[in-house]
């Protein structure tokens, strides 16, 4: 995964108020759908609910991010060929030209490619982009429900073999 240097990071908590956070995570010229989807919750509530879900499952966010990053990288290196990333879970990467900036100031730009993770038994799947992974890693933001790149923390943890 490639992204530009990340200096002067602005943590989510530093954003002045909910309107500012909703504005930067909403639709923009860089992301027509934005990052909130149709989720009615405040962005802060989305993040705290997802953190609570992981805690309830006994899954450390950093461990999940590390596992997702390794799986993403393996799929990216396979150049479109399916890669088994855990028992019953296959990942396929689709490269794309261009980059997208983080919605948070001074956090760099990220490649537009995506990896789709699919559980063979059920067909359950989710898509992960370098920007999605960054938002989870740096802000604990898995995106809002209905967002095209929403990653359900429990689904990702199960598919990566971190929980049964």
Per-residue pLDDT of the chain (164 residues; tens, 9 = 90+): 544 434 333 444 444 455 688 899 998 888 889 999 999 999 999 999 999 999 999 999 999 999 999 999 999 999 999 999 999 999 999 999 999 999 999 999 999 999 999 999 999 999 999 999 999 999 999 999 999 999 999 999 999 999 98
How many residues are present in the chain? 164
Q: Residue 158 and residue 91: Cα distance in Å, rounded?
A: 14
Q: Which tokens belong to 41?
A: 């919750």
Closest CA to 26 of 37, 15, 34: 34
1 in a domain, yes or no? no
> Which pLDDT score, from 0 to 100, does residue 50 have?
98
> Which pLDDT score, from 0 to 100, does residue 5 have?
38
6 in a domain, yes or no? no
DSSP 3-state helix, strand, coil percentages of the chain (rounded to 5)? 35, 15, 45
> Which pLDDT score, from 0 to 100, does residue 17 have?
57
Instruction: Decide: residue 127, CB within 10 A, 0-12 exposed, 13-18 middle, 19+ buried.
Output: middle
Range of the domain at 71: 12-159
> Which pLDDT score, from 0 to 100, does residue 6 have?
40
pTM of the full structure: 0.87
Question: How far apart are the two ends of the chain, measured CA to CA in Å?
Answer: 28
46 in a domain, yes or no? yes
70 Cβ contact partners less than 8 Å away, ≥ 6 residues apart: none
Q: Which tokens belong to 42?
A: 């405040």
Number of structural domains (the chain) is: 1
Check the CA dihedral 57-61-67-68 and report its sign. positive
62 in a domain, yes or no? yes
Which DSSP category does 3 fall into?
A: B
3 in a domain, yes or no? no
107 in a domain, yes or no? yes
57 in a domain, yes or no? yes
155 in a domain, yes or no? yes
């Amino acid at each position: 995964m490639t992204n530009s240097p990340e200096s002067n990071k602005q943590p989510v908590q530093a954003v002045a108020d909910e309107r500012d956070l909703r504005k930067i995570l909403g639709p923009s010229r860089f992301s027509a759908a934005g990052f909130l989807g149709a989720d009615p919750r405040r962005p802060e509530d989305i993040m705290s609910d997802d953190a609570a879900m992981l805690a309830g499952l006994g899954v450390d966010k950093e461990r999940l991010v590390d596992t997702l990053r390794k799986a993403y990288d393996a799929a990216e290196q396979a150049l479109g060929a399916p890669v088994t990333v855990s028992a019953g879970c296959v990942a396929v990467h689709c490269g794309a030209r261009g980059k997208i900036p983080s919605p948070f100031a001074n956090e760099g730009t990220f490649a537009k490619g995506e990896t789709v993770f699919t559980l063979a038994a059920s067909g359950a799947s989710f898509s992960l982009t370098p920007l999605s992974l960054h938002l989870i890693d740096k802000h604990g933001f898995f995106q809002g429900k209905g967002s095209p790149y929403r990653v359900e923390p429990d689904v990702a943890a199960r598919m990566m073999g971190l929980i049964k």
